[in-house]
């Protein structure tokens, strides 16, 4: 097993953009390079997080905006302290499917929320732990939602759309815009990928970035 110092990488994007598929492929690639890799996600990576995820994605509740923000942040705190940090300390590359940017965009930008407050809250719950790179899979919401619907029908995990996927197209368009705005604000961290391309093509681009960072030749 090669020794590298631990690092955090996140994958972000709208529903159905393909980030979970890409995160899995990236984890498999790093694993093949004999690096220590952990693939995780938000919300729901810890035992408590799984309960929070159930509440957050259930169509039975419509939490008030601040309540929802606090639940995502609670999930993140548990995740950082109990899973991410201990793995980073052991030299793992931790890949997360959604992280701080999702909160900034979903609870902040798309809801006219207080973005400075969200920045400060993210900072507080993560102890300032920011990803080294963030892969933003960008595609029009029509394409993402089509894929998300297909997935929901075929994966058997939930036959109906969850609360987020029921929100209207204008909201998803806002989400996309929010991510792109963040990418312009953090060009050194966020890599924007055209997610309308095929899976292998996108993976190749991600692999090149990861190779440059972690693969010693």
Q: Which residues bind ligand TYD (CB under 6 A)?
A: 15, 20, 42-43, 57, 72, 98, 102-103, 106-107, 164
Q: Which residue is nearest to ligand TYD (CB)?
A: 106
CB of 151 to ligand TYD, least distance (A): 8
CB of 209 to ligand TYD, least distance (A): 21
CB of 163 to ligand TYD, least distance (A): 8
CB of 216 to ligand TYD, least distance (A): 32
- Nearer of residues 6 and 126 to ligand TYD, judged by Cβ: 126
- Nearer of residues 35 and 202 to ligand TYD, judged by Cβ: 202
CA atoms 151, 172, 188, 92: torsion sign: negative
* Adjacent-strand bridge partners of 192: 136
- Nearer of residues 35 and 98 to ligand TYD, judged by Cβ: 98
CB of 122 to ligand TYD, least distance (A): 9
- Nearer of residues 87 and 98 to ligand TYD, judged by Cβ: 98
- Nearer of residues 88 and 125 to ligand TYD, judged by Cβ: 125
Residue by residue, DSSP assigns 54-107 as HHHH-TT----HHHHHHHHHHHHHHHIIIIIHHHHHTTPEEEEES-HHHIIIII
């Amino acid at each position: 097993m090669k020794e590298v110092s631990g690092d955090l990488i996140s994958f972000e994007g709208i529903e159905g953009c393909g980030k979970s598929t890409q995160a899995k492929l990236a984890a498999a690639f790093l694993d093949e390079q004999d690096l220590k890799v952990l693939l995780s996600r938000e919300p729901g990576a810890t035992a408590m997080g799984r309960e929070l995820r159930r509440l957050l994605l259930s169509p039975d509740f419509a939490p008030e905006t601040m309540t929802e923000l606090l639940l995502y942040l609670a999930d993140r705190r548990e995740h950082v302290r109990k899973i991410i940090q201990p793995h980073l300390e052991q030299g793992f590359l931790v890949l997360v499917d959604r992280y701080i940017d999702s909160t900034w965009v979903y609870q902040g930008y798309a809801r006219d929320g207080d973005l400075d407050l969200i920045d400060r809250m993210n900072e507080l719950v993560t102890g300032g732990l920011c990803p080294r790179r963030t892969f933003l899979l960008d595609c029009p919401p029509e394409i993402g939602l089509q894929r998300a619907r297909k997935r929901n029908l075929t994966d058997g995990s939930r036959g109906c759309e969850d609360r987020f996927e029921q929100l209207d197209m204008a909201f998803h368009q806002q989400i996309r815009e929010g991510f792109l705005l963040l990418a312009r604000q953090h060009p050194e961290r966020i890599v924007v990928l055209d997610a309308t391309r095929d899976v292998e093509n996108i993976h190749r681009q991600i692999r090149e970035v990861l190779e440059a960072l972690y693969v010693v030749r």
